[in-house]
Chains A and B, each alone.
Chain A
Amino acid sequence: DAKTTQPNSMESNEEEPVHLPCNHSTISGTDYIHWYRQLPSQGPEYVIHGLTSNVNNRMASLAIAEDRKSSTLILHRATLRDAAVYYCILRPYNNNDMRFGAGTRLTVKP
C-alpha cells in the first residue's frame, strides 16, 4: 500500500503562512494526493487534492514535487480556526479507498 509520512505536530503564528509537508515516496502514477483536516470535535473535511500540477482553492494551495514523492499544503495566512489535524492521503484513481495516516497536528498561536 502507498503510504504517507507527515510530522506529528507543527506550530504557526496567526496570520503567517504555514507549509505542511507530506512524503509519499511509494506513490504510483495514478494515485491522487488528497488533504483533509479535522477540527476538534468534528468530522474530517476536504481541503484540496491534486495529481501532478499545483492546485489552488479558497482554502489552501497544494504544491506537488516534480517527482510526486512529496507534497506541501500551504495555508497562506493561518488563523486560529485553522488549528486542526491535517491528513495527507493517497487515493488510487477511480477508487473509493481513502485511508488516513497519522496526520500533523497544527497549533496556531495568537
Chain B
Amino acid sequence: DTEVTQTPKHLVMGMTNKKSLKCEQHMGHRAMYWYKQKAKKPPELMFVYSYEKLSINESVPSRFSPECPNSSLLNLHLHALQPEDSALYLCASSQAGRKNTGELFFGEGSRLTVL
C-alpha cells in the first residue's frame, strides 16, 4: 500500500468555522508533511512532523494548527481562516531520520475554499 489518503477532497467553509483536514498513510513512514498550493504555483512547505514531533514550522499563521496523533495520521485544524487561505492542501509522507531517501509520497490533496 503506497497510498496517502486525504479527506475531505473538497471543503467549503466560512471565516468563522472550525474544520479539519485529515491525512492517513500505512506505509510505516515516520515523517509527514503539509504543503499549501495555490493555482499555478509550486507547493509551499507548511509543517513537517518527524517521529510524531513537529520538526519544521514555516511561520504559518496560528489559524492553521497541525496535529500528529500517531505515526499514521496527520491533521490540519482550521479556524478563522481568510479567503486568501483558499488553496489545495497536500499531505505527504516519507521515511524519517537516516532512512529518509527524500522520496515523498503525496496524497491527491484537499481543495479548500474559504468564503
Q: Which residues of A contact B (CB under 8 A)?
A: 32, 34, 36, 38, 42-46, 49, 85, 87, 91, 94-103
Contact = CB atoms under 8 A, between A and B. Distances in A.
Contact of B43 (A34, A44, A46, A95): A44
Nearest to A32: B102
Nearest to B91: A43
A98 B45 contact: yes
B101 A100 contact: no
B98 to A, nearest CB: 6
DSSP majority for the A interface?
loop
A9 B114 CA distance: 31
A38 B98 CA distance: 26
Given A44-B43, A100-B45, 8 more contacts: A43-B4, A44-B90, A44-B104, A96-B31, A97-B48, A98-B45, A100-B35, A100-B44
Contacts of B15: none
B99 to A, nearest CB: 10
Contacts of B106: 43-45
Nearest to A102: B42
B104 A46 contact: yes
A91 B97 contact: no
24 contacts: A42-B108, A43-B92, A43-B106, A43-B107, A43-B108, A44-B90, A44-B104, A46-B104, A46-B105, A85-B42, A95-B100, A96-B33, A96-B55, A96-B94, A97-B48, A97-B56, A98-B102, A98-B104, A99-B45, A100-B35, A100-B42, A100-B43, A100-B44, A102-B42
